[in-house]
A and B are shown apart, each in its own frame.
Chain A
């Protein structure tokens, strides 16, 4: 549904969806206020009677339009109507209270403030706000509205719990939440890709490209030197440097993406990280089986970035990496004994959060001031649990 384009500020899709959801929930509660008596009465009659069937239809319509609860088949039990009717009856009273508070106070103080002018007296049992400003009126009204929404959400939750006892419940609104989540992670992916590109550009610019230029300087000097001995030694230098360049090139390519990850899986690639880490690195556990490529590469990048951070900043004496398949998800832990205080909002760690988030995973950073950092990631892989005991080493 496109927002009217006459509004210069476009409201983000997520907040629109949230507002829609709240409006629906409030509607559901108000509708319940009309329905709760008929529903309770119908609950007394036999579930198969015509009256009970009709009222049940209304109640189901309310659940679906108001709360986004769609039941697979209409429950025939009396208790269904009884419980829902009770909840509706309980919810409507404070909700009406809060909503009317919102309408009266906000609209009243707006009208008073904007059109009539002068002070507004709001009297309570014990005290009076003698001169509420527009601000106080709006604030009080907003608080009422938020309260009403919170109640409506609670009612939504209660109805959902009750319905789940009688039939299978589908939640179309859950889709909204999911869309919101996906929009956020999609943005995250784009940012993560840009971070990665920037890093690659830097690797190429600061490493490979500089080496190529310095190599060609050597060759040019060799060409220019009049003394054959000097030419020879410059060419020897150039040859040695071109070998270094090839190594550097291979190293950069490997950092961009280790093809061994696709061919041989996490084990060998992590062993290479362990072998090259300047800080002693222990691989406590790595699962034997293969996982979807996206899961393996995200796990690899989490570990690599974490290890890079430790080497760069933590002044640690040892790193321990653990990768465990806990059934639905692949869990990774990188623990060091360094000086802690890793910044979870740093660009490197944020890139990891986004990368893992894009796969519905989660990443947490524990880095106390008194030392040691633990980065743990959990990425669902969607594979069936293998027969026998799941691999779980200490």
Chain B
């Protein structure tokens, strides 16, 4: 893990109004050789920093001053709109499906939505950071779980086996087949089989790229 992160020369802008947490994430990233080029406390400063520094990735808290509602999310959407190449990872205190879908329905390239406490699983957090910076999509497993549990989809989705649900979740997180096989300790061919079973059951046709897979799954899950 460590080699892969040191060779990446990621430049990150951090935005969170909770200073302790911001500094925690900053040192966590710097431990791993990722350079944090700016860390700011609100949406306006964030946009200014992104404009000036053009980082690879912006990590943004949803709630920030002045109104402590969705400034961070708005700023994230603005970044995505103006600089589609810059990855945006939104960290949130709670799962709000609307936030996730609003974010993912933009361009769906290089975006992520994670719960704040995922930060403490450092390996997975760094994996997500790198994936988003490379243009991938990362959705918090909790969001996927919530999307899965909405009643309308219950019927189709209850036909998924537990293993297939796990695979779907990992797919939504943007993992490749190999990533999934490593995460779940199964062979790649087992993953491929599970995925084609999922696409069959959900009546979807498998796409080629990772983000299209995620987008397809999400599009299906969000259809109400």
Interface residues of A (CB under 8 A from B): 202, 205-206, 209-211, 213-214, 216-221, 224-225, 241
Contacts and interface: CB of A to CB of B under 8 A. Distances in A.
B18 A206 contact: yes
Contacts of B120: 213, 216-217, 219-220
B93 interface: yes
A241 B120 CA distance: 16
Interface of B: 17-18, 20-21, 23-25, 27-28, 31, 63, 68, 93, 116-117, 119-122
Q: Which of B23, B24, B27, B31 has the most CB of A within 10 A?
A: B24
SS of A interface (majority): helix
B20 A221 contact: no
A216 B21 CA distance: 10
A221 B68 contact: no
A220 B68 contact: no
Contacts of A218: 24
A202 B122 CA distance: 27
Contact of A221 (B63, B93, B117, B122): B122
Contacts of A209: 93
A220 B123 CA distance: 10
A214 B27 contact: no
A217 B31 contact: no
Given A205-B63, A209-B93, A213-B116, A220 B20 contact: no
Contacts of B68: 202, 206
14 contacts: A205-B63, A206-B18, A206-B68, A210-B21, A211-B21, A213-B116, A213-B117, A216-B117, A217-B21, A217-B25, A217-B119, A221-B28, A224-B31, A224-B122
A214 B122 contact: no
A202 to B, nearest CB: 7
Contacts of A225: 31
Contacts of B25: 217
Contacts of A217: 21, 24-25, 28, 119-120
Given A206-B68, A214-B20, A220 B122 contact: yes
B18 A214 contact: yes
Nearest to B61: A210
Nearest to B125: A220
A312 to B, nearest CB: 14
Nearest to B31: A221
Given A216-B119, A224-B122, 11 more contacts: A205-B63, A206-B68, A217-B120, A219-B120, A220-B28, A220-B119, A220-B120, A220-B121, A221-B28, A221-B122, A225-B31
A214 to B, nearest CB: 4
B20 A205 contact: no
Nearest to A209: B93
A206 B17 contact: yes
Nearest to A223: B122
Contacts of A202: 68
A213 B28 contact: no
Contacts of B122: 220-221, 224
